[in-house]
Amino acid sequence: MDTEKNKNLDEKYKFLPWIAAVAFFMQSLDATILNTALPSIAYDMKRSPLSMQSIIISYILVLALLIPLSGWLSDRFGSKKIFIWAMGIFTFGSLLCACSPSLEFLISSRIIQAIGGSMMVPVSRLAILYTYAKDKLLAIINFITIPGLVGPIIGPTLGGWLVDVTSWHWIFLINIPVGIAGIFFARQYMPNYIMKRKKFDFMGMLLFSGSLLLITISIEFSADKILGGAWFILLFLSGSILMILYYKHFKRTKTPLIDLDLLKIRTLSIGILGNLLTRIGIGGMPLLLPLLFQIGFKYSATVSGIMMIPAALTSIIVRAWATPLVKRLGYRKTLIYNTLLIALVIALFAIPDQNTPLFFLLPLLVAYGGFNSLQMTTMNTLTLADLNNKNVSMGNSLLTIMQQLSMSMGVSISALLLNKYHQIAEINKWDSMLVFRYTFLSMGILTAIVSLIFFRLKNSDGAEMITSEKS
């Protein structure tokens, strides 16, 4: 009877994994396709290419802040209804981006895009979890995450090619037919699960999200030279005060947005802090590398995109090596050594100049992709290693928020360094390579310092996670 029921369920929702895969693909493609187009967008909007990071940050930041709300909305109003709205908002935001006449309009359109994007993937993943039995989940989840891995491979190249043969507007227009198709299939094949959920902590979200927003904006506006030192301090302190208020709110709330008591778990707190700070160095690279190739080395957008392929491919290949390596070295040694290697690779990007053949940059790009992939896989599993069934969902949400936030801060800080070193370079008649050299060296040093966090780990930390993995 159960077999027949499962068979009917599989037939009814046979396209559900494809719908979820489309959502993963759209989000991962959108996150990578824009980077190679920034110089072209800057030229059209008469802006400096080194001050276009707001387009990326606005999307990532809103995505991070709204992710906690997506699951509650899905359970409250129905997974099908929320997913269709999410896909529609993302598609409409893409159209607005393509029609943007100014940087301010484009940033606003990216925020609309992010509102949809913050719900697309979490809601589709939630529908998958509600639909399929546990013995099928691994295969289904592996299937829907493959497009997410493909996006970073084709995104930069496709973005560069579209910029060179058409215009930057097409990097947003290609989302429209995909989004319409996603809405059509969701109407036919997406289940509409409505679940009873606890009351959502809207006050907690207001305080927690407001804190992260103010802190990130203070750094971002400083990078754009919009704020002076006094305003930076004021915004940063305001964000810190909101976080203190959230802590007080959390203490007296039965169902808080984020359970801060989770940070008492040592491996989780180290993993969260490591994710946040390590990604500040790594998170700026998707912005810095396309700018280096196009502004520093004077290559086309297409070449810039193609040069990002080795890093993306290596990141996929190296994922399979993470478990054997951690089994051999343990989490502590793996993270210490790997963080230092990432720092070294980032710093080495300061060496090439306009006369360096592209071929000699390939080993650096391959190393960057491999070490980056190993770092993310290892830190993520360590962070969740000591959680149980009761707190794993909340811990995973906290990890996801911090990952998105750190990517936003990585872009902000790298842009801040670019602009600060730009002022130094102006003394030397605007030496673009000098700007990039100083920036890469600084990001490398920051990343090396972060390795000190992982010295707090014990050799036995994460041992259960390692032994539970299949060899």
229-266 pLDDT, tens digit per residue, is: 677 788 888 888 988 998 899 888 887 877 788 888 88
State which amino acid sits at residue 33: I
Q: What confidence category does residue 470 fall into, taking pLDDT thresholds of 50, 70 and 90?
A: very low
Q: How far apart are CA 140 and CA 149, in angstroms?
A: 15
Average pLDDT estimate for 156-170 = 84
Task: Please say whether the beta carbons of 28 and 155 come within 8 A.
Answer: yes
Does residue 344 have a pLDDT over 70? yes
The C-alpha atoms of residue 404 and residue 392 are separated, in whole angstroms, by: 18
Angle between helices 229-251 and 202-223 (to 10 degrees): 160
List the structure tokens of 245.
């208020």
pLDDT band at 1 (very low <50, low <70, confident <90, very high): very low
Mean pLDDT, the chain, integer: 80
pTM over 0.75: yes
Note the pLDDT tens digit of each residue in 374-401: 888 788 777 777 766 566 666 767 777 7
- Average pLDDT rounded to a whole number, residues 219-235: 67
Residue ranges covered by each domain of the chain? 1-198, 201-256, 259-471
Residue 187 CA: distances (Å) to CA of 15, 87, 206: 11, 11, 32
Which region, left, alpha or beta, applies to residue 355 given φ > 0 means left and ψ of -120 to 50 means alpha? alpha
SS3 content of the chain, % helix, strand, coil (to 5): 80, 0, 20
Query: Quick one: pLDDT at residue 413?
Result: 81
**What b-and-e string marks burial along 363-383, b requiring 16 or more CB atoms within 10 Å of the CB?**
ebbbbbbbbbbbbbbbbbbbb
Same fold? 1-198, 259-471: yes
Nearest by Cα to 325 from 401, 398, 381, 251? 381
User: Is CATH 3.10.580.10 the classification given to domain 1-198?
Assistant: no
Distance CA 154, CA 160 (A): 10
- Between CA 465 and CA 271 the distance in angstroms is 14
| Domain range 259-471, CATH architecture | Up-down Bundle (1.20)
Amino acid type, 350: A
